[in-house]
Structure 1
Amino acid sequence: MPARDLPLLIDAARMAGRVATSFAGKTAQRWDKPGGAGPVTEADLAVNALLHNALTLARPDYGWLSEETEDNTTRLQRDRVFIVDPIDGTRSFVEGSNTWAHSIAVAEQGQITAAVVYLPLRNKLYAAALGQGATCNGLPITASDHTPLGQSTVLAAKPALIETHWKNAVSPTFKRSYRPSLAYRLALVAEGRFEAMITLRPSWEWDIAAGALITTEAGGSALDRTGGTLRFNNADPRLNGVVAGGRPACAALIDALA
């Protein structure tokens, strides 16, 4: 089934890229979601509509979970579900940056089986199917597997360094970098360009699902902040933080967390 779904996701991601890039980021109509949930633009909604139509037409028996679709419990009765972030990094899109991404995945019984993260303005398409490895633009990628944490660069927002998150209120030593899109952060550590990424706040499944499989298929780890296995299509679609990337760096980060 993963091999059957992956070409569908790749085609859908490329279509999404054409739709999203037809909107000018800074001039696209935008508004703020209720409850401080962040911005949304007309491009987010157009991509969401395209993906919903294309994917559910191709797989009418699959459920649907997307940042830009009102959630309901129907998906919980489906064996397989699409998990989608139409544009991950909407603020970057609005600013005219090129670091936003389309994130599309399929979960089967809680496990991601096929995944794509696509950055159309950077011409980078990351893809993976369960048990078949991970690629960027068709070439195999591998997560970092040897760098000690003290020599690692970790993708993390500044709040992740707050002392209360760490044992003995001491953050471990590593170099910090940042990208606004969680899906892109996961793809970058899968590619081995950074040793790890970490987010300690509750994280929406649609931000994580595709990148998590790409990371693990690249030989890395993708776990919650306690070291637990990530499971998807939950009734509450939020995960308990995410630590992902090369296995040594991930193990050291999780061990250092309070």
Structure 2
Amino acid sequence: MPSRLSDADLAAHIAEGAGEILNGIRHGDLLDGRLVGDAGDMLAQAWIATVLRLHRPYDAVLSEEAEDVGDRATTSRVWIIDPLDGTSEYSMGTDNWAVHVALTVDGVPEASAVSLPAQGEVFRSDTVDEVTGPLTHCLAVSRYGHSYHSAAVADRLNLSAVRIGSAGAKAMAVVRGDADAYVHSGGQYEWDNCAPVGVALAAGLHCSRIDGRDIVYNNPQPYMPDFVICRSEIADDVLDALASPW
């Protein structure tokens, strides 16, 4: 029978539990490189799938590491999961990787959790604080540096680049107040940003496609070309820079 856990509690418990599994896989450096990444993806996915099958047997699931569960085209409630966001960072032994768990209802994140297990943090859409305080004048970017669009935003708004590994870690840097924006235009999938966007929206941040359109999830093809997460105070300036980056 489905459990009595709320959707928000279940999302948070899954994100935290998968993080504990992933930390355990790295224990003692018994595995390294690609082996630790492969084991992390496989075991975290297996555990999450089992938990959702037990606690939400009637919901559909979209995950990076498995075939769809249920018919996403006819189901209002769809869980969008990334068991290990930032596999390369995880494999290299860094702290910048995450677990993403989100329930969407009619394409909108309803309950989201992002765990940064190596940093001991879990961000929940039902408890996250609103982002306030002074702007940092920083922009979260890939560890490889700027994209064309992020460089345009940084130049126009005079933001310093902060290199961070995974998508979840970059998004949570904005939620935490360590950066003012995260602009992505290099292509992702819905599992890469659904839970981070759900948490960011709950924290009062602006989230949209780079042309300002709303982000809609559970599309037939889950490719997500671009998006922006930023402080609401600078959202208009960020979108203006993205509209005419040259």
Where on the TM-score scale, by shorter chain, does this alignment land: which range? 0.7 to 0.9
Normalising by structure 1, report the TM-score: 0.82
Runs of 4+ off more than 6 Å: none
What residue in structure 2 maps to residue 30 of structure 1? Answer: 34
- Residue 126 of structure 1, aligned match among 105, 108, 123: 123
Question: Offset of 1:30 from its aligned partner?
Answer: 2.6
Question: Which segment is superposed worse, 13-22 or 218-227?
Answer: 13-22
What are the Cα deviations for residues 158-210 of structure 1, in whole angstroms up to 9, with x where unaligned? 342469x859xx94232111211111211221222211111112221111111
What residue in structure 1 maps to residue 103 of structure 2? Answer: 106
- Residue 160 of structure 1, aligned match among 133, 147, 151: 147
Q: 3-state DSSP class of the match of 1:198? A: strand
Relative distance call for 1:243 and 1:142 in structure 2 (3 A) is: same
The correspondence of residues 237-256 of structure 1 with structure 2, limited to 5 A, is 237-256=222-241
What residue in structure 2 maps to residue 9 of structure 1? Answer: 11
Question: Offset of 1:24 from its aligned partner?
Answer: 2.1
- Residue 194 of structure 1, aligned match among 179, 186, 193: 179
Q: Distance in 2 between matches of 1:244 and 1:30?
A: 31
Matched, 1:211 2:196: yes
Q: 3-state DSSP class of the match of 1:228? A: coil
What are the Cα deviations for residues 76-98 of structure 1, in whole angstroms up to 9, with x where unaligned? 22110110110111111101111
Q: Distance in 2 between matches of 1:104 and 1:72?
A: 15
Question: Offset of 1:29 from its aligned partner?
Answer: 6.7
What are the Cα deviations for residues 18-50 of structure 1, in whole angstroms up to 9, with x where unaligned? 21112128624737xxxxxxx951111100010
Preserved contact between residue 60 and residue 69 of structure 2 (Cα < 8 Å): no
Quote the RMSD (CA, aligned, Å).
2.5
Q: 3-state DSSP class of the match of 1:244? A: strand
Structure 1 gaps of 5+ residues are 32-38, 136-140
What residue in structure 2 maps to residue 95 of structure 1? Answer: 92
Question: Offset of 1:124 from its aligned partner?
Answer: 0.5
Question: Which segment is superposed worse, 73-82 or 175-184?
Answer: 73-82
What residue in structure 1 maps to residue 60 of structure 2? Answer: 63
Structure 2 gaps of 5+ residues are none
Q: Distance in 2 between matches of 1:51 and 1:251?
A: 38
- The aligned amino acid for 2:108 is Q
